[in-house]
């Protein structure tokens, strides 16, 4: 664990602690109509900041320069675990609501690739490693969040007893496409393929909105911990942390090394990307669908604390394999 990454971890915990303190002391006040301040923060992130970030990412992405084979070596096992974890949760988490399986799966497969991933990979592997990480990050939300959005919307449509099969399909498609995650991705991709480019004013506006995702999400995690606490949420958080910190990187290592033949730095970047702790999108999903909010915030904190130890173990394993 490098000093840069250790300091980044401490900064994340400090920001979360400030969110917790702000919520406990009432500094966030009350939302509109006396609502929950944490939900106000979540809605701002989900409807303003994340769409701006996703649209700008897709509109500026150089599709021709992406290392598609290396990306496949990461997303094939990541998608496999996503579908397996989701199917398992659908069998075991029915009592927690229709949105619970997909929401819990977000925390198990979607890592903190920006706040921790960028400084970690930059410190360990330099500019070439960072370039690969950026390619992974650019597709991270597009692939995983879009899939999980479709899954959760289909579960919600299926849970409505008054909806016919045709209506269920129609509602799923409408809600999955006209969605704060999927819609900016699709529009940004169309914008990119049309070669329209971004006017400097529009680009700067999107960049400003997108830059708010990280700090607001960290404060939101602390505010949610203050609201829901840890009681009753630790078991689920530990399970999610195990999947994220151990199972996903192990799958990526096996598939990338022996399935795609990757070695050296590309293999190391993929494994360390998979080994990152749960990201704040887990809580954003939980807030959006009003389920497992306490567990999601707990999972983020627990996995981030445990990452200090598990990261060293994965680095040692990579060194043993020559990565």
**What is the spatial distance between Cα 182 and Cα 67, in angstroms, rounded to a whole number?**
23
Residue 49 CB neighbour total at 10 angstroms: 23
* Residue 232 backbone zone (phi > 0: left; psi -120 to 50: alpha; other: beta): left
**Percent over 70 (pLDDT), the chain:** 87
Q: Tell me what pLDDT residue 70 has.
A: 94
**What is the spatial distance between Cα 243 and Cα 265, in angstroms, rounded to a whole number?**
24
Q: Tell me what pLDDT residue 89 has.
A: 87
The pLDDT tens digits of the residues spanning 277-297 come to 888 778 878 888 888 888 888
Q: How many residues does the chain have?
A: 323
Which residues contact residue 98 at a Cβ distance below 8 angstroms, ignoring those fewer than 6 apart? Answer: 152, 155, 156, 158, 159
Q: Tell me what pLDDT residue 257 has.
A: 95
Residue 202 CB neighbour total at 10 angstroms: 13
**What is the spatial distance between Cα 217 and Cα 114, in angstroms, rounded to a whole number?**
12
Task: Give the phi and the psi of residue 264 in degrees, each rounded to 5.
Answer: 60, -145
Mean pLDDT of 15-41: 76
Q: Tell me what pLDDT residue 20 has.
A: 86
The pLDDT tens digits of the residues spanning 294-305 come to 888 888 888 888
Task: Give the phi and the psi of residue 279 in degrees, each rounded to 5.
Answer: -95, 170
Tokens of 149: 């959005």
The pLDDT tens digits of the residues spanning 128-167 come to 888 888 888 878 877 888 888 888 888 887 777 666 666 6
The pLDDT tens digits of the residues spanning 88-124 come to 988 876 667 778 888 889 989 988 887 778 778 877 8
Contact 55, 187 (CB under 8 A): yes
CA atoms within 13 A on the CB side of 283: 31
Task: Give the phi and the psi of residue 278 in degrees, each rounded to 5.
Answer: -55, 140
Q: Tell me what pLDDT residue 259 has.
A: 95
Looking at per-residue confidence, does 323 or 92 come out higher? 92
Q: Tell me what pLDDT residue 7 has.
A: 78
pLDDT band at 32 (very low <50, low <70, confident <90, very high): very low
pLDDT band at 60 (very low <50, low <70, confident <90, very high): confident
Q: Tell me what pLDDT residue 268 has.
A: 94
Q: Tell me what pLDDT residue 122 has.
A: 76
Nearest CA-CA partner of 272 in 316, 311, 317, 320: 311
The secondary structure of 282-294 as a DSSP string is: HHHHHHHHTSSHH
> For all residues of the chain together, what is the average pLDDT?
83
The pLDDT tens digits of the residues spanning 196-254 come to 889 999 999 999 998 887 788 788 878 877 877 666 578 888 999 999 999 999 999 99
**What is the spatial distance between Cα 228 and Cα 318, in angstroms, rounded to a whole number?**
38
> What are the sequence ranges of the domains in the chain?
3-22+36-321
Looking at per-residue confidence, does 45 or 81 come out higher? 81
**Percent over 90 (pLDDT), the chain:** 24
CATH value of 3-22+36-321 in 3.30.460.80, 1.20.1530.20, 3.40.50.410, 1.10.10.10: 1.20.1530.20
* pLDDT at 48 > cutoff 90: no
Q: Tell me what pLDDT residue 31 has.
A: 47
Per DSSP, 276 falls in state S
């Amino acid at each position: 664990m490098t000093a840069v990454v250790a300091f980044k971890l401490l900064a994340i915990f400090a920001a979360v602690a400030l969110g917790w303190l702000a919520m406990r002391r009432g500094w966030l006040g009350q939302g509109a109509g006396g609502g929950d301040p944490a939900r106000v923060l979540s809605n701002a992130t989900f409807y303003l900041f994340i769409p701006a970030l996703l649209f700008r990412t897709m509109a500026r992405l150089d599709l021709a320069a992406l290392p598609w084979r290396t990306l496949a070596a990461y997303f094939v096992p990541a998608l496999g675990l996503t579908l397996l974890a989701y199917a398992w949760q659908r069998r075991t988490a029915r009592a927690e609501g229709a949105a619970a399986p997909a929401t819990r799966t977000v925390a198990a497969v979607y890592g903190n690739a920006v706040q921790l991933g960028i400084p970690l990979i930059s410190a360990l592997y330099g500019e070439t490693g960072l370039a690969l990480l950026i390619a992974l990050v650019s597709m991270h939300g597009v692939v995983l969040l879009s899939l999980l959005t479709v899954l959760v919307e289909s579960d919600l449509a299926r849970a409505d007893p008054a909806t016919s099969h045709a209506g269920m399909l129609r509602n799923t498609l409408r809600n999955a496409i006209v969605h704060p995650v999927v819609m900016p991705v699709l529009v940004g991709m169309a914008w990119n393929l049309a070669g329209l480019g971004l006017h400097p004013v529009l680009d700067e506006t999107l960049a400003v909105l997108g830059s708010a995702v990280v700090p607001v999400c960290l404060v939101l995690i602390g505010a949610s911990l203050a609201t829901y606490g840890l009681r009753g949420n630790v078991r689920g958080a530990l399970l999610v942390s195990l999947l994220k910190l151990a199972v996903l990187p192990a799958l990526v290592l096996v598939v990338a090394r022996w399935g795609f033949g990757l070695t050296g730095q590309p293999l190391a970047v993929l494994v360390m990307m998979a080994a990152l702790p749960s990201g704040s999108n887990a809580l954003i999903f939980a807030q959006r669908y009003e389920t497992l909010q306490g567990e999601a915030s707990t999972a983020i904190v627990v996995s981030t604390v445990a990452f200090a130890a598990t990261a060293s173990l994965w680095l040692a394993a990579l060194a043993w394999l020559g990565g």
